[in-house]
Structure 1
Amino acid sequence: MKRNLLTLLSLTLLLSVSSCTIEVNDDSGTPTITNPGNTAGVLPEGGKLSGEITSNLTIKKGNYTLEGIVKVADGATLTIEAGATFTVSTAVTSSLVVLQGGKILALGTANEPIVFTTTAKTPGGWGGITIYGKAPIKAVNGNTTAVSEDGNAITYGGTDANFSSGILKYVRVEYAGKKISDGTSETNTFTFYAVGDGTILENLVAYKGTDDGYEFFGGTVSAKNIVSYGNYDDSFDWQDAWSGQNNTNWYAFQTVTGNFGMEIEASANIDNTPPKISNITLIRDANTNPEVAGSTEISAIQFKRQGTGIFSNVYISGYKNTGGKNAYSVLIQEQTTETNQVATNKIKVEPLNYVNSDNPGVWGYAYTPVAVKTFTNTATVSKVSLTAGAWATVDGVNLLSALQ
C-alpha cells in the first residue's frame, strides 16, 4: 500500500509538469502514458502507447505495447530509438497513424531494428503503419484530394512535393494488413497517403500481412532497401499517380498466399509521371496460390488503369501457370494502358532476367494487343543485395536467404 501511495504521489507530481494522462496498473505499478501533452515526454520502459500524441514523445530501446489507433497529431513528433519492440494488441482495432503535419523519427539499425509484432503471430492482426503527407496526388478524375480507405476516412492530398513526414529506417512490421469489417476498407502493412519526398524510407520489412506489403496513394516519396515477405495480396502496390523517382533495391518473397508481385495503376489518369525503381527482385515460392482460387492474379508485375513505371535491373523467378491461368513477367490489363503508356515509353521493364517461370520472352495481355512486347533474358541481371542482420530475421529465419 505504501509503495502504491508513493507511486501515485510521484505520478501526481509528474502530471503537474507534463500535462499528460497517466494510468497505473495496480498489479505491477507500471505507468501508462496516454495522450502525452508534454514537449519532451519519454514513454517509460514497459509502457503502453495509445490514444493521440499531441506533442513530442520519445520511446527508447526496450519492450512496449501498442493498443488501439495511435495517432501522431499535426505538430507532434514521435521519436523511436533503435531496439524498441512493440507488441500490438489484437483485442481491439490497432494501428499507428501519422497524420498530416505529424512526424515519425523511427531510427533502427541493422542489428537493433524497431519491431512491431503481435503475441498471436497471426497475419492480419492489426492495421500496420500509415503515414499521411502533404504531397500532390491524382485521384480518380484527376482529383487532387481523396478520402482514405483505411477506415479513418481522412481526406488526403496536398501541394508540397518536398514535405517530410519523418524517417522510417530499419523498421520491421509483422502480421498487419488488416481487413476492415465494412467490406470496402483495408489497411496494408505500410501505407503512404500523399507522402512527400522529404520523407526517408529505408530498410523496411513488411512481414506476413493480409493485404499489400506496401501501398502508395499518390505522393512523391521514394523507398530504398525494402522487403515484402509473405504478404497475402500484392507485395508492392500504388495508385493516385505515385511518382517517387529515387527507389532502389526492392525485394519480394511470396509464399503460401500471394497475388501480384507488383500491382500498378494511376487511377485512370493518362497524364502521370512514371515512378522509377532500380534493382527489383520478385520471387514466388512453389507453394504459393492467389487469395482467390482460380484468380488470374499470379503474374509478377501488373499494369492497369494507366499505371506507369520505369524499372531497371529486374530479376523475376517462380511465376508459374496456376489453376489453368497464365503467369507472366509483365501483364497489361487494357488496351488504353498499352496505347497511352507502353507505346509512349512510360512503362519499361528492362533489363529483365525472367527465370524458373512460365511464358518467357513475352508480356501478357488481358485483351488482344496492338503489338506484343517481347524480350530476351539478360543473364547479367542478378538478385538485389541487401544488408544482413536482425532487421530481416524473424524467429531465427533469415528473410533474405532466397537472395543468396
Structure 2
Amino acid sequence: MLSFSRRHSSLLATTACLFLASCGADDVASPGAGSIGVVINQPAPTPTPTGTPTPTALTAAQFATATTQGGVTITADEQLAIVNAGANNNLNGFGSTLNGVYPVSGTSLTTASNPQTVLGNTSFIQNTSFVGALSGPNDNAFSGWTCSSTTAAFLNSAQCGAVPSIGSYAAATSVCPTGLIDDGTFTPSGAANPSYRYCRLPGVISADLSLPKIAGVVYRFRGQTEVGVDGTSNVTLTIAPGVVLAADASESSNDLLLVNRGSKLNAVGTADAPIVFTAQQNLVNNGVSDATQGLWGGVILLGRAPTAVCATGTGPNDAGGTSTTCQQAIEGVTGRFYGGTNQTDSSGTLQYVQIRYTGIAISEGNELQGLTLGGVGSGTTIDHVQSHNSSDDGVEIFGGTVNLKYFVVTGADDDGFDVDNGWRGFMQFIIAAQKAGGSTADSFATEIDSNGSEDLLPRTYGRYANFTFIQTTSAPSAIRLRGGADFAFVNGVVKTPAGQTCVNMIASNQVNGAAATGNDRSTIRPANSALQDVGPPTFNSVYFQCQGR
C-alpha cells in the first residue's frame, strides 16, 4: 500500500535593529528595507482512482484452437461464432475471480440460465442461479466428503495424503467378516500394538457380500478382483459408510475392482463418513504425497446399456441401441465386455466415495482410470464421488446412459471427464482441477469423442450443467469436442493458463467411416435426424477466463 506524507516548513522571523546605534553600531550604515524569501512545499496530489481496467477482447485464435483432421478444419473464427451464438456467455473473463475452485464472491460470474429449460431435463437437472459448480466462497456442497490437495482445496475436508479414518484396532473386535480372507495385522515400526487388520476380498465375488464398518479393519483387494461373472452369476457387493478399501502393495499384479454386467456395487457413504478406495501406501503417515499416482487400477463398472462401438462381428448398432449382439471389450483388462439393449440398466450406487491414486497404462490407448464406466445405464446412481490423482483420466465413460452429479476430478494426469463410444447422458455440479504440472500433452478438462467413428449410432450426446474446469496443464485447450458428438454446455466456468485457449472443436468429413460428399464437418453441421444429429454444440451462460488473464 502506498502512503503519502506531507512536509511542513516553519519560518523563523528575525527582528532587525532599525536603529543600529542602539545595538552598539551607530557608525554602520543600515542595510535598508530588503525582503525575506518564503518557500512553501505543496503536498503531493492524491492520485485519481482509475478503477478496474477493461481487458482487451481476446482474438479468435486466443480463444479457440483450430485443429485439422483428415483435411477438415473448424477455424478459430467459426468456433468463436458458435460460442457467441449462445446467451449470457462471457468470453473475456479477467482478474481475481476464483480462489482455487471457489468464486471469490457470491455474485455469479455471468448471468445464469435455467439449465432445466436449456437442456430439456427436469427430472435429473436442478435449476440454479449461478454459473460453475459452486455458488460462492462459502458453498459447502463439496465439504467433508472430498479430500483436499495442492490441486484443489475444499471447505472442511481432510487432506488426500492423510491416512483415512480406519478406527482403533482391538484384537477382540477387529476381526474379518465371514467370506473374507484374514491377511493378518499391520504394526508400524517401533509400535507395540497393531494399527489395523487386513481382511482380503476373494478374487471373484460369486455371492452377495457386505463389508461393514469395523474399527481397525481395512478391506484389501489383490489383483483383478471381480464382482459376479458375466452371464453366469449376478451378485451385489455392498459397502457401508466409512469403510476403507486398499489395493495390495505386497505384490506386483495390477490391482483393480471390476463389476461385471448384471452385478452391482452399492457403495453408499455419507458426507461425514465417505467410503475411500485407495492404495495400501496411503495407510501410513507420509506414505503418499500430492505427486503420488498410478498405484492401482481403479474401479470399473460394466453394464448392459447400448454402446456405439461394437467388437468385430457384433455390430453395428442403431440410434435406439437395440442391437442384441453389439458389445465391446473394456480397456485395461482382457475379455471383459460391456453393452446391451437396456438403457435403464443398473450397476448399483456410488455415493460419497473417494477413489485415490489410481491409473495404470497397460499399453498405448489401453489404460485404467480412476473410474471406468462401460455401457452403464441410467438406473445407476453416481453422485458425490471424487477421483483423485489418477495417472490417466479421472473418469472415462464408454457408451451407456449413466448420469453424474457432484463429481470431482482432482490431479488427473490425463483428462478430467473423458466420454465417447456413444455415451448419452447428463452431468451437473462437476469439477475438473488438473495437476499443476507433469501431465501428458493432451490432457483436457473434458475430452468428448466418438472414437474416430463420426456417425456410429447411438451418437455421443452429452449435457453439462454447472461445471468448473480449471485447466493447468499443457493441453491445447480446456474443452476438446470432436468425433461428431452432440453437446450442450450451460452455467459453466472455464479457466486456462497463459498460452492455452478455452475451446478446441474438431470435425471429420465422413459418414460411418466412409468419406462424405462435400464438406460434411460432422461436429458442427446442421441437425440431421437421419443421423441422430441435433446440430452444432451450444454454449449458454459460460464464463471463460482464457490465457491466464
Give the TM-score taking structure 1 as reference length: 0.71
Q: Distance in 2 between matches of 1:298 and 1:67?
A: 38
Please state if 1:58 is matched with 2:210.
yes
Gaps of 5+ in 1: 1-6, 29-43, 290-296, 322-326, 361-404
User: Equivalent residue for 1:160?
Assistant: 342
Amino acid at match of 2:223: G
Alignment match, 2:466: 279
Q: Which structure: greater strand fraction?
A: 1
Q: Is 1:251 the equivalent of 2:435?
A: no
1:130 Cα deviation from its structure 2 partner = 0.3
Structure 2 matches for 1:3-402, cutoff 5 A? Answer: 22=181, 25=184, 46-62=198-214, 63-73=218-228, 74-90=233-249, 91=251, 92-118=253-279, 119=281, 120-121=287-288, 122-139=292-309, 142=316, 144-180=326-362, 182-244=363-425, 246-255=426-435, 256-258=437-439, 259-267=443-451, 268-270=453-455, 272=459, 274-285=461-472, 288-289=473-474, 297-321=475-499, 327-336=500-509, 339-344=521-526, 345-357=535-547
- Residues 59, 84 of structure 1: 8 Å contact kept: yes
Query: Relative CO higher for 1 or 2, CA cutoff 8 Å, sep ≥ 6?
Result: 2
Shift in Å, 1:335: 4.8
The whole-number CA distance in structure 2 between the counterparts of 1:340 and 1:22 is 53
SS in 2 for 1:351: strand
Deviation at 1:204, TM superposition (A): 0.6
Question: For residues 273 and 23 of structure 1, do their structure 2 counterparts lie closer, same or farther at Cα, with a shift above 3 Å needed?
Answer: closer
CA distance in 2, matches of 1:24, 1:250: 38
Change (3 A) 1:22 1:175: closer
Q: CA deviation at 1:342?
A: 2.2
Q: Any idea what the Cα deviations from partners look like across 1:61-106, whole Å, max 9, x if unmatched?
A: 2432222211000411000010001121233210010000110100
Please identify the structure whose Cα radius of gyration is greater: 2
Question: Secondary structure of the residue that 1:341 maps to in structure 2?
Answer: helix
Residues 223-247 of structure 1: per-residue CA shift (max 9 Å, x gap)? 0000000100000101111001x32
Higher mean displacement: 336-345 or 106-115: 336-345
SS in 1 for 2:521: helix
What letter is aligned with 2:469? L
- Are the equivalent residues in 2 in contact too, given 1:314–1:353 (CA < 8 A)? yes
Give the partner amino acid of 1:243: R
The C-alpha deviation readout for 1:353-391, integer Å capped at 9, x for no partner, is 111536x9xxxxxxxxxxxxxxxxxxxxxxxxxxxxxxx
Shift of 1:280: 1.0
Shift in alpha-carbon separation, 1:316–1:51, aligned structure 2, 3 A: same
- Residues 266 and 308 of structure 1 are in contact (CA less than 8 Å); yes or no, is this contact kept in structure 2? no
- Structure 2 gaps, min length 5: 1-171, 188-195, 282-286, 318-325, 511-519, 527-534
Flag the 1:346–1:167 CA change in 2: closer, same or farther, 3 A. farther
Q: Percent of aligned pairs with the same residue?
A: 29
Using a 3 Å threshold, how does the CA distance of structure 1 residues 68 and 307 change in structure 2: closer, same or farther? same
Indicate conservation of the 8 Å contact 1:149/1:187, yes or no.
yes
Q: Is the 8 A contact 2:507 2:523 kept in 1?
A: no
Give the 3 Å change call, closer, same or farther, for CA 346–158 of structure 1 in structure 2: farther
Q: Which moved more, 1:347-356 or 1:226-235?
A: 347-356
Contact 2:489 2:542 in 1 (8 A): no
Whichever residue aligns with residue 77 of structure 1, its letter is T
Change (3 A) 1:76 1:223: same
Conserved in 2, the CA contact under 8 Å of 1:194 and 1:219?
yes
Q: Tell me the alpha carbon deviations over residues 269-309 of structure 1, each in whole angstroms, 9 at most, x when there is no partner.
A: 42515211211110124xx34xxxxxxx3311101222231
